[in-house]
Amino acid sequence: MTATALQTSADSAVLAAPVVAPMSLDELVEQHGLVTGETLVRARLVQAETGERFAAILTRLGLVSEAALASAAAQATGLPLAAAVDFTGLPVAVDRVSERFLREFKAAVLRVDDGVCNVAVVDPFDPYPVSAIALALGLRVRVSIGRSSDIESAIDRAYGPATAAAAAVDDAADEADLERLKDLASDAPAIRAINRLITGAVEQRSSDIHLEATEDGIVVRFRIDGEMRTVETLPAAMRAPLVSRIKVMAGLNIAERRLPQDGRLRLAVRGHDIDLRVATSPTINGESAVLRLLDRSNLTLDFAALGFDPAVLVKLRDTLALPNGIVLSTGPTGSGKTTTLYAALSELNAPSRKILTIEDPIEYRLAGINQMQVNPTIGLDFATALRSFLRQDPDVIMVGEIRDIETAQVAVQAALTGHMILSTLHTNTAASAVTRLLDMGVEPFLIASTLSAVLAQRLVRRLCPVCREAYDPPVPVGDVTTLYRAVGCGECDHTGYRGRIALVEFLVIDPVIAKLVLARAEARDIAAASAATSMYADGIAKARAGLTTIEEVLRVTRENGE
């Protein structure tokens, strides 16, 4: 039998063949307006250089979404779209159909029903793969349209992950695979996976997405209300595509896999603008990445909403109303210091004031305020920026962090010359901020004359108001007889908590404290002489009010030594 006869015989075995005018996939894309003419030319050039199938190029480079391509093909041919459930069956005919053939032609053998083989293809205008499968199996074939990623996943389940893709993923030392990494970053599965993770993190109110490389995969974890939760584990073949995709989105060097990198990007998710801070780092199992989500639409810059007690608020606002001085926010990483400073800037922000900030990085953009990002590579650090600010006649200056004696001295000088300075320090208590400045080398008399107040804070999980439950503690906590505990419901994703609230301690540098500063007193002596309510006492008050649990209060204040 001739090749033509074989082809004719195979074609006769294809069921539900479309009745359409002859068309190619690129004609379909052009006629349906899925890409512009210029983009189509680009895709054809890539095809000429690589010899790849046109459908693979369109989706791999992100020129056309898989869903749009499949929908247009189904509309043009009258063939059905293969649903996700169609790809979940057991592997079929792995011993009679070549894996290489299926991958090349983007086709998947889904199942056999009553002597009919169901096959999904990306390009229905190429009759060869369907005819070849019909000949190889000796069965009639029913054709449907599938998305490229679904077909690839079905092939992976039948034959195992593609060895070529695995080699490109695991070969982290060879710089020659840069182009392949770019391709991996542009693959639809990687794009969809990252978009799905970011969308899921936003919907679950996560503050961070952690992609952690392990020996046999990549673990995805979200930080929700301060706690890490494992979301899923992806196969090892996804490590390089996911991290490469993140690098492309954040404008990082995709070829550099030996050094940590950081960047940022902005996305619209569910109608909200989300800023993401990205940090990648090499590990023994490959690169890991952390994405910090900053949802500007949900940014709360209200002290009361953050959990500040009314009595503390009065003192804080009185301090911020001073014409000059230094106000410090202290606490460990992730304790909400920067959000507190933004809330203070929001209260001070008025047309009558000029406000400048120097930050690392700029977490939120505030209208009406001049914000600057540090750039150590060109010598723009906190101290340099602060000196330049003094020549711009500002009323208020926010310095992201006082890290060294140089920045501290310039901040003191700025306060002495009539400016209000807001900044942060990494200390555990309000009183230890004073001793930290002394340890840096700032003279006691300068601290006593410029430091107005120190706010120390921690974040605890806020009880869900819908399902929290009152109970009488078996052991009395001071004079508290009724406390509340977490239960869990649909509103809080069955965790019992929703959001976080601040425990604060506000130390005002009054004459009594100033004398102790001049005497270089220890932090514990300053704390003992202070009239400030401790974070523990503030936590007990919030636990009594049903805002949090006693366990949460003890968790953060024990770290503080209280």
- Among 56-70, 209-223, 347-361, 450-464, the minimum mean pLDDT is found in 56-70
Q: Per the confidence metrics, is the pTM higher than 0.75? A: no
Type of residue numbered 307: G
CA separation for the pair 50, 76 (Å, rounded): 27
Residue 162: which pLDDT band, with cuts at 50, 70 and 90?
A: low
Residue 298, helix vs strand vs coil? helix
Between 511-518 and 430-440, two packed helices, what is the crossing angle to 10 degrees? 40
Indicate whether 175 pLDDT > 50.
Answer: no
**CA nearest 215: which of 286, 165, 166?**
286
Give yes or no for a contact between 144 and 167, defined as CB atoms under 8 angstroms apart: no
Q: Which contiguous run of DSSP H or E holds residue 455?
A: strand 451-463
**pLDDT for the residue 8:** 45
**pLDDT for the residue 202:** 86
399 compared with 113, residue with greater pLDDT: 399
Share of the chain above pLDDT 70, in %: 86
Residues 6+ apart with CB under 8 A from 299: 339, 342, 364
**pLDDT for the residue 37:** 67
165 compared with 444, residue with greater pLDDT: 444
Indicate whether 439 pLDDT > 50.
Answer: yes
**CA nearest 354: which of 411, 401, 393, 399?**
393
> For the segment 535-547, what is each residue's pLDDT rounded down to a tens digit?
999 999 999 999 9
Task: Give the highest mean pLDDT range of 173-182, 384-393, 502-511, 523-532.
Answer: 502-511
**pLDDT for the residue 357:** 93
DSSP states of 108-166:
EEEEEETTEEEEEES-TT--HHHHHHHHHHTSEEEEEE--HHHHHHHHHHHH-S-HHHH
Indicate whether 173 pLDDT > 50.
Answer: no
Beta pairing partners, 457: 504
CA separation for the pair 142, 80 (Å, rounded): 10
Tokens of 479: 């004079």
Mean pLDDT of the chain: 83
Q: How far is Cα of residue 417 from the mean position of the Cα atoms in its chain?
A: 41
**CA nearest 128: which of 53, 186, 199, 197?**
53
Indicate whether 98 pLDDT > 90.
Answer: no
Q: What letters, b where the CB count within 10 A reaches 16 and e where it falls short, cover 425-447?
A: bebbbbbbbbbbbbebebebebb
Give yes or no for a contact between 217 and 235, defined as CB atoms under 8 angstroms apart: yes
Indicate whether 503 pLDDT > 90.
Answer: yes
